[in-house]
Structure formats: structure tokens, C-alpha cells
Amino acid sequence: MAAPPYRFRVFATADIGREALAILQQQGYEIEVYPQLEAPSHDLIVDKVRAGVDGLITTLRDRIDTEVFEAGKGRLRVVAQDAVGFDNIDRAAANRARIPFTHTPEVLTEATAEFAWFMLGAAARQLWASEQLVREQQWRFWHPYYPLLGTEVTGKTVAVIGTGRIGQAFIRKSLGFEVRLLCHDPVRQDAEFVQKVARLQAEGRKSGLLRASASIAYTGLREALSEADFVSLHVPLLRAGESPAPTYHLIDDERIGWMRTGAWLINTSRGPVVDEAALLQALRAGRLAGAALDVYETEPLPETSGLRAADLVQRVRLYPHAASATIETRLSPDPERGMAGRCVQALRDVLEANYGGQPARMPYVVNKEAFQDGGTA
């Protein structure tokens, strides 16, 4: 087992936060941070790993595949991802190489959930178009319905697809909007959580604080989609073969067909959860009121994407994968507060052999299954 000062070499594909990286330097780590704002090429990552690093810090824009794990044979001991999602990392390849990879759960839950609500609000109340009017000197008088009216959120029906950490935070934040919540989770229902929310709502209704619309229930996907005014997605991206309930294109042509005409789709999860071609078709056909998207099938959103079409501009809100983008969430060096802090802690857990050196016991290791035999990294 290594002891401080540590002599580990780490390559970070981005500056994930100076204060957090400084913690590693203070411990004696040798850190190289890719200096550009754009992501390094896959070849460069492979070269850096082949040249010999003990730890690799990655972001969701880096493809970490068999080639990277092969290049790390004999030296690379951990891949620490600065994100909660990890669909850019080939889990089977990591397992074959017996290299633990880590992520940063929980610390971005609140930021992501509140952003989903802000997106929903911005879409429903046409905040972007409204501001544009003022900026472009198009606001010349007040009028009861000119130039635009939004749709009210309070009291409406909201489908929450995915009731893990972020879905639950989204639900907690919805209480003041007194909405009817229809929850669906393709994998696991948290009945206890829903009961707790239902009890709060019942108290609120009884005391007159909340109106009758405030309610919550688990439903099937079809019911949730077909009754909701707003559908908010909070599932991880799981492709066929990665789970008995894959979420790739969960919202496809058929499922969009189940949605109410005039409903809004809000996506802060992962782009490929939605079939963008089917979404575009539904928007064009006037089947949906619109969509507010923070994630895309290809990121950054290509210039040629139909989602940018001028005729859809009032109905499609586009954001740059920014749901977790707060100073606190992205940069705090505190592992209990920020992604940077948690990413660094996760890397240290593996390299410094915390938890008896057993990845299966380390809280932020994702691929624990590769170490269930009690093996060390």
C-alpha cells in the first residue's frame, strides 16, 4: 500500500477544478491537465495512458474504450469520471481489464433537478421569446393577449420518467407548483418515497395550503405519457444488452404518439434516451407543443440539426448540457458538495487503497461487479 507523499501520475482530460486538483498535488501526485478547452482526441488519450499513468480523469466527452484500457495494461489503475453519467465508458472493457471506474453521483442531483424545472418554466411561459421581444424593441404596448401567452404550470399534470435521485429531487421541488405527478420508472419503484410525498400533499390539501391537484402516483409509461402536460426525463442511458430495461430511444415514435397533443418534453437525462428524428417529426406535425432539451444524440449539437430549424424556434428550447453547471456543483473541492471534489476523492480511494483497497466497497466505483470476489484494484 502506498503512503504519502504519493508518487502517482494522473492525466486529466480537462481542468475539472483547480482547487480539487490541488488536493492531489498537495498529496504528492504528479498531474498533467490537458490545457485546451476542447476535448483531447481519442488518440491523445491513448498515448497519454500508454506513456504510463496510474489514474485518468475523464469527462463525458471522452470515449474510454477497449483501446484505452489496453493501453493502460500493467499501469492504469483507475478511471475517474467527472460526471454522474458514464455512458462514454465501455463498462465491459473496464471489467475485462479489471480497472475500476468511478463517477460523481448525488452532488449534481439538486442542480440538475432545479434546471429541469427552470427549463420547464422557460418553455411553458416562453421566457426566451419574451425577452427577445424586449431586446429587439418589439414590446411597444401592453395587451391582454398580444404578442404571446404561455401556459400555466401550477396545477398541471407532470410525468416524471425515472424516479432515482434526480427524479426524486425534481418531485420534491414540484411541491409548490401543486401539480399532479405521474411517476414511472422502468427499473425500480420507490414506493416509500412516493408515500412520503403523498402524505405531505395530503396534509397540504387538508390544511388548505395546497389545492386538490397536488397528488402523486406510480403509473405505467403509457398512462404517464398520455396524461401529462409536461414530461420530464430522468433515466440513465442504458443501451440494449446493458440492462433488462434499456432506455436508448425510450421516447421513440410510438411513445411520442402516446403523448398528449400539446404536451411538452423536457430532457436533462441523456440525449439518446429520445429519438430525435421522431421528436422532430412530432414537432413538425404539431403533435407536441414543444421540447426543452439540455442533452442531444450528438453533443455539441451539430450545426445541421433539425432542432435548430427557424420555424421551430419558438417551440424548441436548446441548452448546452448545462443542468449541472453551477459553481458549487461543478467546482467545489469538497467531495460532499462538488463533482470536482468527489471525482478526486474517488480517484484517491482507488490509488490510495482506501476501503481496504477493495473497489467493491468504494462508494463511487461504478463497476463493482468486477471486484465482487473481494479483489483489489
Which residues sit at the interface with ligand GLV, rule CB under 6 A? 60, 83-85, 108, 324
CB of 228 to ligand GLV, least distance (A): 23
What is the spatial distance between Cα 36 and Cα 18, in angstroms, rounded to a whole number? Answer: 14
Orientation angle between helical segments 339-351 and 18-26, nearest 10 degrees = 20
Q: Is 321 a catalytic residue?
A: yes
Residue 58 or residue 324: which is nearer to ligand GLV going by CB? 324
CB of 134 to ligand GLV, least distance (A): 31
Please report the sign of the dihedral spanned by the C-alpha atoms of residue 100, residue 188, residue 338, residue 86: positive
CB of 270 to ligand GLV, least distance (A): 8
CB of 343 to ligand GLV, least distance (A): 11
Candidate list 260, 270, 342, 348, residue with the active-site label: 270
Candidate list 106, 114, 242, 299, residue with the active-site label: 299
Residue 194 or residue 273: which is nearer to ligand GLV going by CB? 273
CB of 325 to ligand GLV, least distance (A): 7
Q: Is 270 a catalytic residue?
A: yes
Angle at CA 134, nearest 5°, toward 129 and 139?
100
CB under 8 Å, gap of 24 or more: what pairs does 309-318 form? 312/283, 312/284, 314/126, 314/129, 314/290, 315/283, 315/288, 315/289, 315/290, 315/291, 316/283, 316/290, 316/291, 316/292, 317/119, 317/122, 317/123, 317/128, 317/290, 317/291, 317/292, 317/293, 318/293
Residue 112 or residue 174: which is nearer to ligand GLV going by CB? 112
Residue nearest to ligand GLV (CB): 83
* Nearest residue to 290 (alpha-carbon basis) of 268, 312, 272, 311: 312
Residue 123 or residue 339: which is nearer to ligand GLV going by CB? 339
AA identity, residue 126: Q
Candidate list 249, 317, 321, 330, residue with the active-site label: 321
Residue 275 or residue 294: which is nearer to ligand GLV going by CB? 294
Report whether 89 contacts 79 (CB < 8 A).
yes
Task: Return the active site residues.
Answer: 270, 299, 321
